[in-house]
Structure 1
Amino acid sequence: MDSSHKPRTFSPNLFFFFLLVSSNLLTFFICNTFKNSSCALYQQTYNAIATVSSLNTSIPLVVEPAANRGDDVQESNKPAADLDLPSEFLAFTSPHKLPFGFSRNFDSDEIIPPVGHPCTRFPDLLRRYMSYRVNGSCPDDELLAQKLLLKGCEPLPRRRCRPAAQKEYVEPYPFPEGFWRVPSDSSVVWTAYTCKNYECLINRKTQKGFDDCKDCFDLNGREKNRWLSTKGAGLDFSIDEVLAVKNPGTIRTGLDIGGGVATFAVRMRERNITILTTSMNLNGPFNTFIASRGVIPLYISISQRLPFFDNTLDIVHSMHVLSNWIPTTLLHFLFFDIYRVLRPGGLFWLDHFFCVGEQFAQLYVPLIESIGFNKVKWVVGRKLDRGPELNEMYLSALLEKPLKNSW
């Protein structure tokens, strides 16, 4: 029997095509009308996928000037004057939208990187430093990097390349043997330094000219006896007499500011105390050497806020680096930052602070006393290594953050 079908005037395919086009037009209208709508999430996700897929190619991306790129870096709310900076720098320093929108943790829908303005003051250095292949090898330019860092470009903005390394790396000596053995020369990329091996560094103490901590790398010299006994008219405190100030086992973690090759940290590690050491690579591989000894280096300058939460460290130590060469206000900032990161009852060991005699009573004593530490030890002596006519003074002090009312 014949079926009785009614003729169709509108095919299903055409209907679904019309529905798809209409929905896309509606989505486009909503996205452009309401900028914060959820459709932005899909665009961010698409951009992220596109970026990842482009970085997974065998040929690394070349960082081009921002003016030559069509990506969303130029869409940032940077001043127009900044758009001639390297695009990779802008990519790092510009705000980044969170993929799932607003976050209560950030109180925002974006992450703002903690880097930026000091770098832009030195555009020529910045362009040189940021000229690298994304997903490739970083240029071997440690001197350039440190120059930027010391100029306040901190943390350094290079993020997406692999650092230079020795071609034939040798494993470090095992714990605890590595504490007092000079590591292999092959653990260092020597390009940035006058010396090209550790033997040269050990012998440079007899050479003319200025180098930071000239005798530090000689572990069988003065380093072997540092902080083991009290001497030097009482200016040289020993580690054991300092630890005896507190109950046994209550000094556990701390920081050494400008700690050379981290002998202080090694001494404390031998006493089951963990110390992080800040050090720059001033014509020597200090950070690499510290790591080879089995303790932890922090490559930060004295102008950076200490990367620790309030009231957390048991002890902070600094020898020589905190002295009158630092601008007074910056030194005040740093002393207060030390106070901030120390827990109540924590110790600040100011080791051989030096200044000119007339500065001591008029400037530095009031400055140190203004911080709020209690004085546990306070020893003042003459600094005579450059001659008595300069009237230079040393201060070695052991200061305690008050256990109560420390705010």
Structure 2
Amino acid sequence: MERELLGKKPDPKRRQCWSTTTVTLILFLITNTTSILLSSGAGASLVRRYEPRTVRIWDDSGALIADLNATRSALESSRAELAGLHARLGTATLLLQTLLADVVTAARANDDQQKQAATGWWARELAGELKLAVGNVASAGEAALGHACGRFQDELERYMDYKPSGECPSDAALEHLLMRGGCEPLPRRRCRPRSPARYVDPAPLPKSLWTTPPDTSVVWDAYHPCKNYSCLAASHGFGFDLRGRHEKGLWTHDDGALAYSVDKALAAKPKGTVRIGLDMGGGGGTFAARMSERGVTVVTATTNAGAPFGSFVASRGLVPIHVGPARRLPFFDGTLDVVHAAGELMAGWMVPGDNMALEFALFDVYRVLRPGGLFWLDHFVFPGAQLNATYAPMLDRVGFRKLRWNAGRKLDGGAKKNEWYLSALLERPMT
């Protein structure tokens, strides 16, 4: 029995099983060692340095060779991944360097701006509330006030002359003067506007649209020639006489020529798609009131020059906004359904004699209109010889599409000057 056992030949299957286990353990160790080297950053160089050109282990074992080839393929993938990570790291480094450079540039620009504000803009050193307002905002990297304010230091110091936490002076005229001169934005102030005596709540909508507000709804400043709305209705007429036939009839009838009606203008677009808009130089807000009756919200750009237009518009349940004529319109790109610019009231916005300012204004109107939005030019006054020579080509250059176009001689005082009216309904193209 012993001889038979000693003389017995090894079982080839058992030897193959033992060999497979050994090779598997070796492969396991190699794979884990390679992973550690790759994760430490040294793996790629070691693989390149010690990689054998061929692997020959038990040529009769196809499964083992397949496993080794799979391991080599995994190593190659890891090497490619490491190369990609190095490339991404390089890109991230460049982006970080660019960001740091931008931060340094912005910091230097802010320092230069503060130095210029202390020397170049002003005739003398700032003091008091003006110095606090400008310095506090400038330290945060924001523009505290418009660059043109440097030309109005005396007026701006008067505007900022008040008792902190007290009542603001009645200086709407001074505010308007500064904004018209390009001093915009104005600095914030630490004072409270005076409330009217015996103030009462406004009339409810829709009654408020055509109800003259009580005289106690507004503070009548010293520079106002009138001290009540009855005086304004008699002197100004347009905008304040809500019971008069003229105001009640505005934009209700279409004569097929210069006078357009709201309903005809809205009919140019699918029903309900004109929802929000702007009335440039809107006076007392009657255009916005007419549109409100048809479910359209229109913001009225107006001023308090000579009369409390802003307070009057707000008392009617409408939204007034005070924005300077040279300022970029405070609306996002492509958001408004309609922009209305009415006659001589928009002279401060679009001066026919200043063609460059007019072109800038028209492009800004185009910007805030959505594709398909309407631009309603309403009795725009211009020198007669300039329609085909200047204004029609300018509107084409801006990119408006003509839906309606009417021109006629201005007879009420403008005939001797050869002045004409232009009414037009224009559209920002859909594409």
- Give the TM-score of the pair, scaled to structure 1: 0.72
Does 2:161 align with 1:134? no
* Partner Cα separation in structure 2 for residue 278 and residue 133 of structure 1: 30
SS in 2 for 1:350: strand
Task: State whether residues 146 and 182 of structure 2, in contact with CA within 8 Å, keep that contact through their aligned partners in structure 1.
Answer: no
Q: Given the superposition, is the C-alpha separation of residues 271 and 86 from structure 1 closer, same or farther in structure 2, using an over 3 Å criterion? A: farther
* Partner Cα separation in structure 2 for residue 90 and residue 299 of structure 1: 25
Amino acid across the alignment from 1:283: G
Amino acid across the alignment from 2:430: L
* Partner Cα separation in structure 2 for residue 268 and residue 145 of structure 1: 30
Does 2:416 align with 1:373? no
* Partner Cα separation in structure 2 for residue 86 and residue 111 of structure 1: 20
* Partner Cα separation in structure 1 for residue 351 and residue 179 of structure 2: 21
Does 2:418 align with 1:391? yes
Does 2:186 align with 1:156? yes
Task: State whether residues 137 and 163 of structure 1, in contact with CA within 8 Å, keep that contact through their aligned partners in structure 2.
Answer: yes
Residue of structure 2 equivalent to 1:103:
none
Amino acid across the alignment from 1:296: V
Amino acid across the alignment from 1:125: E
Does 2:214 align with 1:224? no
Residue of structure 2 equivalent to 1:90:
131
* Partner Cα separation in structure 2 for residue 309 and residue 274 of structure 1: 16
Counterpart pick for 1:270 among 293, 296, 307: 293
* Partner Cα separation in structure 1 for residue 426 and residue 203 of structure 2: 36
Greater CA drift, 385-394 or 365-374? 385-394
Deviation (angstroms), 1:115: 2.0
Residue of structure 2 equivalent to 1:249:
272
Does 2:224 align with 1:193? yes
Deviation (angstroms), 1:272: 0.9
Deviation (angstroms), 1:204: 1.0
Amino acid across the alignment from 1:153: C
Q: Given the superposition, is the C-alpha separation of residues 97 and 331 from structure 1 closer, same or farther in structure 2, using an over 3 Å criterion? A: closer
Deviation (angstroms), 1:135: 1.9
Counterpart pick for 1:338 among 339, 342, 365: 365
SS in 2 for 1:388: coil
SS in 1 for 2:404: strand
1:95-110 matches, cutoff 5 A? 96=137, 110=140
Q: Given the superposition, is the C-alpha separation of residues 295 and 387 from structure 1 closer, same or farther in structure 2, using an over 3 Å criterion? A: closer
1:101-135 Cα offsets, whole Å, 9 max, x none, are xxxxxxxxx33135232111111111111111222
Task: State whether residues 89 and 158 of structure 1, in contact with CA within 8 Å, keep that contact through their aligned partners in structure 2.
Answer: no
Residue of structure 1 equivalent to 2:143:
113
* Partner Cα separation in structure 1 for residue 241 and residue 136 of structure 2: 46
Greater CA drift, 77-86 or 258-267? 77-86
Residue of structure 1 equivalent to 2:326:
303
Residue of structure 1 equivalent to 2:94:
none
Paired residue total? 311
Deviation (angstroms), 1:385: 0.3
Q: Given the superposition, is the C-alpha separation of residues 357 and 324 from structure 1 closer, same or farther in structure 2, using an over 3 Å criterion? A: farther
Structure 1 residues not aligned, in runs of 5+? 1-72, 99-109, 206-213
Task: State whether residues 328 and 364 of structure 2, in contact with CA within 8 Å, keep that contact through their aligned partners in structure 1.
Answer: yes
Task: State whether residues 352 and 381 of structure 2, in contact with CA within 8 Å, keep that contact through their aligned partners in structure 1.
Answer: no
* Partner Cα separation in structure 1 for residue 138 and residue 414 of structure 2: 60
- Give the TM-score of the pair, scaled to structure 2: 0.69
Q: Given the superposition, is the C-alpha separation of residues 86 and 336 from structure 1 closer, same or farther in structure 2, using an over 3 Å criterion? A: farther
Deviation (angstroms), 1:346: 0.4
* Partner Cα separation in structure 2 for residue 94 and residue 373 of structure 1: 43
Runs of 4+ in 1 over 6 A off after TM superposition: none
SS in 1 for 2:337: strand
Deviation (angstroms), 1:170: 1.4
* Partner Cα separation in structure 2 for residue 302 and residue 287 of structure 1: 16
SS in 2 for 1:88: helix
1:208-223 matches, cutoff 5 A? 214-221=237-244, 222-223=246-247
Task: State whether residues 377 and 423 of structure 2, in contact with CA within 8 Å, keep that contact through their aligned partners in structure 1.
Answer: yes
Identity of aligned residues (%): 46
* Partner Cα separation in structure 1 for residue 135 and residue 367 of structure 2: 30
| The structure with more helix, counted as a fraction of residues | 2
SS in 1 for 2:362: helix
Task: State whether residues 280 and 299 of structure 1, in contact with CA within 8 Å, keep that contact through their aligned partners in structure 2.
Answer: yes
Task: State whether residues 332 and 368 of structure 2, in contact with CA within 8 Å, keep that contact through their aligned partners in structure 1.
Answer: yes
Q: CA-atom RMSD, angstroms?
A: 2.1
Task: State whether residues 86 and 130 of structure 1, in contact with CA within 8 Å, keep that contact through their aligned partners in structure 2.
Answer: no
Task: State whether residues 210 and 242 of structure 2, in contact with CA within 8 Å, keep that contact through their aligned partners in structure 1.
Answer: yes
Deviation (angstroms), 1:255: 0.3
Residue of structure 2 equivalent to 1:358:
385
SS in 2 for 1:396: strand
SS in 1 for 2:416: helix
1:274-316 Cα offsets, whole Å, 9 max, x none, are 1000001221110000000000000112211100110111100
Deviation (angstroms), 1:96: 4.1
Counterpart pick for 2:173 among 139, 143, 154: 143
Does 2:336 align with 1:313? yes
Q: Given the superposition, is the C-alpha separation of residues 139 and 402 from structure 1 closer, same or farther in structure 2, using an over 3 Å criterion? A: same
1:39-61 Cα offsets, whole Å, 9 max, x none, are xxxxxxxxxxxxxxxxxxxxxxx
Which of 1 and 2 has greater Rg?
2
